[in-house]
């Protein structure tokens, strides 16, 4: 339990509501670290299925994004290169 309320179940303690979305699917990620993702092709009755589509509809989810520290390193390196170029233009 998340709260001290033991007499009744608070909404935060009972999990995700399923009444509003009874149709869901769980898919595990696959691939090595750095290339994780999901390729999902729904069947009739599954979420995302498009009836009448010319062909099967496939969803591709990529879950890996650069770490913030990697982005800082990239921006810092780019700024250093631009500063070096600027300084080279100023010096005769």
Tens of pLDDT, residues 62-77: 877 667 787 888 899 9
Which residue, chain included where needed, has tokens 């005769």? 92
Higher-confidence residue of 16 and 53: namely: 53
Task: Over range 69-89, report the average pLDDT.
Answer: 89
Cα dist from 48 to 24, 26, 40, 56, 60, whole Å: 10, 13, 9, 11, 12
% helix, strand, coil for the chain, step of 5: 30, 10, 60
Contact by Cβ (8 Å): 13, 3? yes
Q: Is the pLDDT of residue 1 over 50?
A: no
Strands 59-62 and 37-40 come out as antiparallel
* pLDDT at residue 2 in the model: 46
Is the whole model's pTM more than 0.95, yes or no?
no
Q: pLDDT tier at 26 (50, 70, 90 boundaries)? A: confident
Task: Over range 46-60, report the average pLDDT.
Answer: 89
Higher-confidence residue of 60 and 19: namely: 60
């Amino acid at each position: 339990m998340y709260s001290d309320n033991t007499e009744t179940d608070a909404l935060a303690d009972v999990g995700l509501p399923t009444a509003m979305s009874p149709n869901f699917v769980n898919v595990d990620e696959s691939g090595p670290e750095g290339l994780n993702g999901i390729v999902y092709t729904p069947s009739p009755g599954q979420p995302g299925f498009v009836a009448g589509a010319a062909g099967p509809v496939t969803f591709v989810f990529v879950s890996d994004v650069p770490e913030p520290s990697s982005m800082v390193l990239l921006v810092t390196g780019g700024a250093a290169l631009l500063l070096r170029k600027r300084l080279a233009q100023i010096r005769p």
